[in-house]
Amino acid sequence: MRIWLILIFIVFLLASQSPAQIKSHEIGHLWETMFATGSIPEYAPLQDQMSYPGGDFRLMTYKNLAGLGLWIGVENWTDKFGTAYPTYVAQGGFENAEASDFTYPIMVSGKIWNKKKVWNRLPIVTVNGTQETRFLDTRESSTKSSTIPADEQIETKWATSTGVQVRMRSWALANQNHNSYIVREYTFTNDGNADSDPSTIELPNQNLTGVYFGFQYYLIPGGDRGHEQIRQHDDWAAYYGNQPGDTLRGLFYMFDGDADDNYRVGDDIGDPDPFTGEFMSPQYPGFGVLHADFSYNDESDDPAQPMTVDIKPRKNFKSVTKGDGFNSLYAELSSGVQSTGTVGQADHAYDPAVQQPVAMLAFGPYDIPFGEDVRIVLYEVVGSIPKKSAILDGKAWKEGTLEFNGLTGDAAKNALLATGKDSLFTYAKRAEYAWSLPRGLKDVPTPPPSPNLTIASGPGKIELEWESVADKKDKQTGQVGDFAGYRIYRAIGSYLNVYEKIFEVYGDTTRYTDRNVERGKHYYYYVTAFDDGTFNTTGVKPGQSLESSPYYNRNFDKGGAVPFIGASSHMDSIYVVPNPYHLQGLAYGGTIQDDYTDVPRPEDKIAFVGLPANAKIYIFTMSGDLVAELLHPNPENPNSVAESADESWYQISSSWQTIKSGVYLYYVEGWDLEMNPLGTTTGKFVVIR
């Protein structure tokens, strides 16, 4: 089937991107991929890139980051060939073609230094006897560690042409108060190494002066969804920092504006889906500052940093590939500009004067003698209305029934979406709070681990069983005794749809049978463990019960779990549902953008029911042309269940075309479980598109 061609292509892409070069955080609501040299490679089709909310283990939608770069500028510098430069800038690749000319991943024993450590191993999830495999965040990609300060840590190292080695460590947390930001700590060491081999020193004993570190972010709220529909950049950028009475020292963020009427007629803020109304770009993605050393010999925080906050259209940023020299690049780093963003600088976000805004936060100038280092700590954060609200309130807006804070219509929509900024600031302040704790992230309470999970389809039911985590030690106290129970969440139709809690139990129960299911529907689950809050004495909400990650043990592959009815013993009850088939629109929570990336599309499914244990189905046009042949059970269809009475078909012919409206005939040959023949039957069904 075509879906397998897509998956094979993805596997090929993963193989081309060495697993050592990519590590991903996928424990909280904010997902992020860390690459070997910190920036996004020129070709990286598989990446989380500030996906929010997380949950898409296959195609990585909901991305909010399109480009990431790091410039290191120096004065009065001499390269390894003896050439002197009054100013020099090593560009870490916002414009991706530049990265390989200035950055070199550190290699140790033939392996790239990009390592992931976790407090608890990724759970094993098995569905109908098949173990699920995530594409980026696999069990094999990380090692268990009891010393890391957060639930997940990724560390990567790379050298630069300046002789400055960069160590970037990032941390993600499962705690529900802290799972929408990721901390990035950068340590810049003047070790003289200017290639991938750390044992060689190309620039020995060179003291660096006038050093600037410029971090560039090219953010696109809902970039793989809303922007993909209208294909126009229409985002506003803002920088918030050093406000009286507020501890936030610097936060750059983006949000969706109103598209040009030539692209989308009407108020387009939030990028409502034209079919369902779902708000496709409700996110407020951003990055902020937690710490910057005063100097190489003073590690206290310098509140005056960043020295430069430069926000302007992408086309106006300089780069070597555009022909700009090092002097002009260094001038951008050291300009001292303190931009507040693009809001108010133009009438529309798509105005060329403000379109595609990129932010560069530059820290410096530093003097770094040979062997010394400087540390800078940033965080990435996203705020948004909940996904369920984006779907249901978007639908209400499209139908003209949305009300919010006494407002209706577009005003209600825009006011609702603007609350995403409130959640952005909430999580930004929590990142700042966590970093300021006596032991930093170590003092953030950690929930119980996610259990290993087994899911099995049955006749009229789906059975779940999980491994007990009641005896697991608390990360902060090292004690056992605060475990409380488990919760089960379920989505119907697609793992991208909204999950609802269907079961909660106090105590160490490890089984549940879901009988509130319908044959032929696809079900997706995750099981969390929660504590009673006894050991959670620190944090923003002391004593609060904490719950494990909503992503660690989700099933997402193989079409989910599908309840079935046992195979028939005769050929008299075979029919097609629905009949007639009429394309009624999209599944709950789905959108054109989601469904067209997953072939076959869920909304095209019809089913042959009442089948015997083994069958062969022939489908013809009314003129007798053969359209398709299906086997039951179907080895090419992961949703096909042996010994069931049902077989799904997504209306794709043997020549890989979606069938047209019309009347179709079917002819079925049947056998029992032991392959004894049961005879044949015929029928017809109608397709209306």
Residues of 241-272 as b/e, b for ≥16 C-beta within 10 angstroms? beeeeeebbbbbbbbbbbbeeeebeeebbbbb
The answer, yes or no, to whether residue 12 has pLDDT greater than 70, is no
- pLDDT at residue 427 in the model: 98
Alpha-carbon distance values, 638 to 230, 305, 469, 523, 645 (Å): 34, 54, 31, 14, 15
Share of the chain above pLDDT 70, in %: 93
Q: Where do the DSSP E strands lie in 226-356?
A: 235-240, 251-256, 284-295, 298-301, 308-313
Residue with tokens 């689950």: 525
Residue 144 has pLDDT above 90, yes or no: yes
| pLDDT tops 60 at residue 4 | no
Domains of the chain, residue spans: 2-441, 445-531, 575-688
pLDDT at 145: 95
What are the backbone angles phi and psi of residue 358, rounded to the nearest 5°? -125, 140
Mean pLDDT for 484-502 is 95
- The residues near 686 (Cβ < 8 Å, ≥ 6 apart) are 579, 580, 581, 662, 663, 664
Which comes out higher in pLDDT, residue 320 or 444? 444
Question: What are 71-107's pLDDT values in tens digits?
Answer: 999 999 999 899 999 999 998 877 755 577 899 999 9
The answer to whether residue 327 scores a pLDDT higher than 80 is yes
Q: Would you say residue 11 has pLDDT above 50?
A: no
Residue in the structure block whose two tokens are 């020995």? 204
Q: What is the mean pLDDT of residues 354-369?
A: 97
Question: Residues 51-72: what's their mean pLDDT?
Answer: 92
Q: How many residues does the chain have?
A: 689
Asked whether the beta carbons of 362 and 334 are under 8 A apart, the reply is yes
Tell me which CATH homologous superfamily contains domain 445-531.
Immunoglobulins (2.60.40.10)
Structure-model confidence comparison of residues 636 and 85, the more confident one: 85
- Same CATH fold assignment for domains 445-531 and 575-688: yes
Q: What is the mean pLDDT of the chain?
A: 90
**DSSP E strand boundaries for 407-479:** 407-408, 453-458, 461-466
- Provide mean pLDDT across the span 523-539: 95
Out of 5-14, 191-200, 617-626, 650-659, pick the least confident.
Answer: 5-14
Locate all alpha helices (DSSP H) within 351-408, ordered by sequence.
387-399
Cα 493 to Cα 482: distance, rounded to the nearest angstrom: 35
CATH code for 575-688? 2.60.40.4070
Number of neighbours of residue 18 by Cβ within 10 angstroms: 12
pLDDT of 9 reads 45
Identify the pLDDT of residue 20: 53
Q: In this predicted model, what pLDDT tens digit does every residue of 426-459 receive, in sequence order?
A: 999 999 999 999 999 999 999 999 999 999 998 8
For residue 566, the model assigns a pLDDT of 86
